[in-house]
Every structure is written in C-alpha cells, then in structure tokens.
Structure 1
C-alpha cells in the first residue's frame, strides 16, 4: 500500500481495502506487541491476541494523551534517565542505547535521542503540556515522500515548478518531522536559487516550549516568584516585538516578489493578518501571479477569524482553486490527508485506516458497521491506525470530532473522506475525557 503514495490507487474505496487493512493491523500487532510496552498492556487488558475486525483494534488504540503521559518532574528535575525509560514505553525500539552523559537540558536530551535513532518531535502543547512523539528515520523519510506526493494529488502544484517562497513570519516548531517534511517540500517545489526571507526568529524548540508552559502554569497557580513573572513578561514582550518586526519584513518580501510564481506556506491564523497587512499596503489579487500556490496546514485552533477569512486570503494573493493545497493531519500520525477540490473533503489513503469512535473513545461510533460498504456520513471521534508508522504504534485516538463518509466523494474519488468542519472536543465542551486515558496514565506512573 505504501508504494502507491500519490497515485489514484492510494485513494481506493474502503470496500476494496477493508480486508487488507485489517490483516495489516494484525500484522503490526504481531510485530510490535512485545516491543511496545504500552501496546502490550492494552492487548493484555483487552485479552486480544489477534485483530480480525475493526472492533478488535479499538482497545489497542492509544489516546493522544499517551504521548504526554510523562510526569512533569522528569523535566523540571532533569531526570533524563527516567524520561528515556518513559520514552521506551511508547517506542517500537529499545531506548537503552541513548547516551545521556552530556545531557544538560531537554533540547540536549532530544538531540541525544536523535543520535541513537529515536527522533522526538514535540506537539505545540496548546493544552498546557507538550506531547513527545518518537519516530524512526524510516518514519521521517516516509513522511517527507508522502507529504510531497499528497501536495501533487491535492493540487496542481508540481515537483520541478521552481517556485519562490513567501509567507507570513512566525516562530516555527523545530522538530525532526517538520524539518524532514520542510526540506522535502523545498526540494520538490522551490527554486534553490530564489531568494528566501529570513525572519530572524529563533526556532521553537522543546526546551523553549517547555519553559514557557512551566512558567504559565506557575503564574496561573500562584507559585511563580516575582522574578519569574518579570522574566515571563519580558520574554513575551520581546518575542512579540521581534514577531511584529519580522512580519513587516515578510510583507515587504512578498510584495517585492509579487511577479514571481510563489510557493506560500502558513496556517490560517497567521495568513489572515498577513493578508490584511498586504492589503493595507494597497496590493491585492491584481498585483500577484495567477499561478501562485499555497500550502495550508490548518491552524484554526482557537483562532478568531471572520467568516470570509478563506476568500480574503485567496483574493489577496490571487490564489486559484487548483493551486490551493490544504490537508488534515496531526503530529500523532505520520500521514497527510489532502483536501480535494470538487468535494472540499480530506481524503484518507489506504494505509491511514479510519476508525470512527463514539465520543468516549471506547467503541466504534453508533451506527457504524465496518462490514457495510459506502456508509456515511457518520459523526465520530477521529481515530486512526497509520500503517506507515515504524518507530511507534500506529493506532491513536484523537481529540477531534469529525464527520466521515465512506461513500464516493463529489470529486470522483471513492476513498473515505472527512468533511472540512473538524472541531476539537476540548473547544466544544471545555474539557475532553477519553475513556482509556486513565489506564495509560496509571501505567506510566508506575515507572516513576
């Protein structure tokens, strides 16, 4: 299945691939159940030794919170040996080969893990604690290949286009996965000789992210010292000042490049104010190349945007539908789900198995029968089994509420597809409880 990335065969109908997917999940279980401690625990608790149906896979899924189940004391007290042991509970490969002798901080720990072949990427931590997701080199290589293939499936942007980069300034999370995908995209779509804007902003590392989260929590619970509060406020003000300056430079940059065929990247939350700033300078669609392309990575979490934010951005930069690439993805899975043009839905390739769950995340969604072809639409908690994963378990329960359809899309593709109205349960209800999360946390506490 993985070899079909970017082709029509990659987006086959659920009826065509259903049995193959179940067999592949079972194959993954047999390969990894004794290698990934947390998966072994889940399998033993559910008394599952074989996956013969999608329902069998449900108890084997890990909540997305599993990757942030490490005790914070491991970070604050610099218990790198304990943190490495925790990583070993979710890794498909032993972590006892990590050399901790020179590690002084979390970024040093991440680097040490990477040298040992355990590439740790960190989520944004919008809920207050960062997830740490381990991947193998094989995972990074596949994410890069799949990312480039998905862009070309979901748009008319093509490898060899020799485009010029532009986009909103922003602090970018420096993770192995982001770096691998970013380099692959630049190599495929961008002219290496074209000028690139340097924002001057330092990358967001796990260390800087963790420090900020810790300070915010300390301020919120009243335990922060006056000096720490002053440091937090000074750092926040300094970051905002640097970002504002960089944004002015980014606006100048895209205006200067307006005649070029651009490759614009960004998320809605940053692209909308960026477009506003360009409009304020008197520029709009008439001034930009009609073959500009854009890579949109979501970014709507907690963003306050007007109803016409999409149209405003498109009309600012002269973006035509066939050159707009939008995808659905998450750090917890390795695969991109590209958005089609005609149906405006996110399509799942055959190796990204959709497992629609009930709100509690402990059973298949009400009304969903995996044996029936062409079902839908079904509202569900999104869960997936990413068969491309090598360095960690591919099964994950997300915090997203989705509407998924297993019937053919208006675009003509028959693969399962997700409506473009994805929401987070935490935003809808103020909290999000996944049924099995407590079991995972209790298991991890046993390590500390």
Structure 2
C-alpha cells in the first residue's frame, strides 16, 4: 500500500475484504483511527460485493434470499432479513452424530459454503470416521482451506462453524498489529512467548486460532507454552455436554455411554477436577521460566485473576516484561467481577495494560475495549442493533439498546451474517474521549438468556415462512 498516493474507494474496499492490515499500512494506531466516513463507505461497498458474490453460490443464502425476494443490497439494513440466527449452525439432525454419520453431516455443511468448498466437502471420504476427533482431523487434511470448529455445546448440541482458513489468518494478522504495536510493515518481530492456560490444540472454536497464532505472532513453535500440550478431544467434550443436559433434565440414569468412551470421560473429569492445582503449578513454572520476558497471554478474566492472586500471595510482582500483551474477551456477562481484579493482574504480570475485547465464535472479528471502558467496533465487522422482539433494525443514530448482530466482512466462503444472543448499548454518534472515531458499545454486555431465566428465542427478521423454508432446506440431508 502506497503511503503517498491515495487509494480509490474500490481499492480500499478490496483491501478491507482481503488484506485489512495493508489498508492501515500495517500500523495499529492507523487501524484504530481509520476515518469513520471512509469505514462506513467501505463497509457498505464491501457488503454489496459480498452479497453479489455469494447470493446465488451459497445454497442456504440463496434459498432465504429467494424467499424474501432480495436481489441486491442498497443500504446496510437491507441485509438484516438475511442474517442467520445461531440455531442455523446446530440444525443438523442430532442422530447423525449418534450414528457417526459424517457423510450426511458433510452434506449439511455443503449447503453453508461456496461451490468450490462444497465440492471438496462432498468428495471427502468420512465414512470411516468413528467420532468427532476423526472427522475434524480428516476434514483438515482433505479440505485445508476450510477450518470447521465447534462451540461449547452447553445445550447438549454442538454448533459447527464452517469458517475459512483465510479468515483466521486475517484475524491473526490484525492481532499481530496490536500485539507487536506495529507502526508499519517493517516493524521488527519481538522476542515474544505465548502462555496459554489450556490445551495446545483442539477443534473448539477458541483453540482453532493457536496454529495461526504461532505462525503469525511468534518466532517459532517453541515459544508457545500450553498448560496441556496435548489435543483436547471433541468427542469427550460433546459427551460431557450431553451428560450435563441429561443431569439437568433428570434423565442421567437413561444416558448411554459407549464403553470405549467411558474411560476417556472419566479421565477428562479427573483432569477438570485437577485443573486449578495444575494451572497454579503451570503459572508458577511460567513465572520462573519466562521471568522478565515479553509474553502474550489470552485467557478469561477469572483465569487471569486467579493466576494473579496465586502469584501475589507468594510475593510475586512484575513477573514479565512491561511490554507483555494480556488479552481477555467476553466481558463478565452476568458475573459480578471483584473490585480491583484488573489491578491485581497488572501488578502480578508487570504489563502496562490489560487488553479486553468483545468477540464471539461465529464472527471472526474482535472489538477492543479502550481506556474509557468502551468496545470499539472493528472495521471488518458491520454491527447492527436489532429490536429484541422482532429483530428489525433499530436506528443507527444516537444511543440505542437492543440485540447485537453482525456481518463479518472477512467471510468469503460462507455467509457472514449472524444474530447474537447479546444485549448491547451502542453509541453511534457521540465521539469517545479516547479519540477513536468508530461507533462503540457502552455499558455492560448481557445475555438475553440471563435476563429471561435461560430462555432466549431469537425472532428472525425474515418472514416466518421464509425462515422455515430455509431451515427445512438445510436440514434435508438424510436420504
């Protein structure tokens, strides 16, 4: 990207969609201060381009767009009836997993992606896969351009997210700008270590980025330190999630576990029970081995705080280099955070600041929190605030509270529109004191399910019949 010749809007949009760090000349400060009018124009142009390119190429999107009679996008809100609700990604018949029928699951996946990806997915021989771990590993090998991940399965059913490998690469390139505090493409690579308080690898959505993290942020794989160097089994996680649901329903006595899985679940349960002690020992070891070094650490706020409390109780302060990058995402979401937890983390680690973000598995974008407590939207994701009862778009002016939704501009092999379960308040117009020009989230982020006693039924902005027809089409995978 030239620093002297202004780029046309078409060129800027192309970079936002395909090489976003180049749009800011690989400068973190420039990325945070892209002019609001430019970003708004690029996002609308990018949305139009994505819809034009994908409308007739992703089967589920075509079905829904046909039913709604949407042929083109003129304004941002035009896309709202085409935003997918979270149930889309777990709408496959659950019996397919019970029967290890991954051939039919691949047929389901193929309706969510572009024809080139779908062809590879349908051609993949997964008939001999005997579980989720086998299936994920096979798909990674045969369809490397696709990076399928799963969510936590708290409902007992996994959501499968068919994200492109390139999406993760672009996200980590943006994160590299922040972690290295880059001021241009020639910013030297720091001697950086990553401390990760969980498994080295796995198919969980938040484990999927580790491979790209190593390749993008670190000098080599030896600089990545995981509390558990092995791969987390998705089969065991799925089994544990189903067992929790059965226990909550009082049907655990009728819950059947295959003999070969029972020992693995028992070992996993033991590992979970021993995790606090193991993590305490891991962090103590890291504090000694990496003392004074620059580290990257990403974890939930409570895990970071527990680490800090354990270290401070032993008189440890300022353990790592002040340029270390600590990252946590998600906010509290209904949990009361103790006063001073951020200060404890910074005092123990020695880092200058704690980098908090608002993000979700279904949208490969991260929205950083500024020093005034506001989450600033990334240029790669178009935010929407929807009426929680109808999912109709609320005005993009003033201060508005409603259901968060996004269009992920980084998605080019799947449809990037997604409706979340989060209630947010967005300030569209009033400038933030931090100086960033973007719109931002103010106040707490809360799950609608927490407000309604665990129930959160999302109403799609598409007509009921259109949505039902689209879902019926997606689920017609069993021959």
- TM more than 0.5: yes
Matched position secondary structure for 2:278: helix
Indicate conservation of the 8 Å contact 2:402/2:424, yes or no. yes
Instruction: Determine the structure 1 residue equivalent to 2:276.
Output: 244
Mapping of 1:29-178 within 5 angstroms? Answer: 29-92=51-114, 93-94=117-118, 95-114=121-140, 115-116=142-143, 117-151=145-179, 160-166=189-195, 169-171=197-199, 174-175=202-203, 178=206
Indicate conservation of the 8 Å contact 1:272/1:313, yes or no. yes
Instruction: Determine the structure 2 residue equivalent to 1:338.
Output: 368
- Match among 371, 374, 391 for residue 362 of structure 1: 391
Mean Cα deviation higher: 354-363 or 222-231: 222-231
1:355–1:13 Cα change, 3 Å:
farther
- Inter-partner Cα distance in structure 2 for 1:39 and 1:170: 36
Matched position secondary structure for 1:108: helix
- Inter-partner Cα distance in structure 2 for 1:40 and 1:194: 45
1:73–1:284 Cα change, 3 Å:
same
Does residue 1:212 correspond to 2:240, yes or no? yes
- Which 5+ residue runs of structure 2 have no aligned equivalent? 1-12
- Which 5+ residue runs of structure 1 have no aligned equivalent? none
1:196–1:14 Cα change, 3 Å:
closer
Instruction: Determine the structure 2 residue equivalent to 1:351.
Output: 380
Indicate conservation of the 8 Å contact 2:331/2:445, yes or no. no
1:174–1:11 Cα change, 3 Å:
farther
Matched position secondary structure for 2:323: coil
Instruction: Determine the structure 2 residue equivalent to 1:272.
Output: 305
- Inter-partner Cα distance in structure 2 for 1:178 and 1:98: 25
Indicate conservation of the 8 Å contact 2:362/2:418, yes or no. yes
Does residue 1:447 correspond to 2:447, yes or no? no
Q: CA RMSD in A?
A: 3.2
Indicate conservation of the 8 Å contact 1:327/1:338, yes or no. yes
Indicate conservation of the 8 Å contact 2:246/2:255, yes or no. no
Matched position secondary structure for 2:111: helix
- Match among 409, 430, 436 for residue 413 of structure 1: 436
Indicate conservation of the 8 Å contact 2:200/2:226, yes or no. no
1:61–1:14 Cα change, 3 Å:
farther
- Match among 243, 249, 255 for residue 287 of structure 2: 255
Matched position secondary structure for 1:25: helix
Aligned residues: 434
Does residue 1:396 correspond to 2:418, yes or no? yes
Once the two structures are superposed, what CA deviation does each residue of 1:314-364 show, in whole Å capped at 9, x if it has no partner? 22222323xx322221111122222233x3322223331112211135211
Deviation at 1:225, TM superposition (A): 4.6
Deviation at 1:153, TM superposition (A): 6.2
Does residue 1:432 correspond to 2:456, yes or no? yes
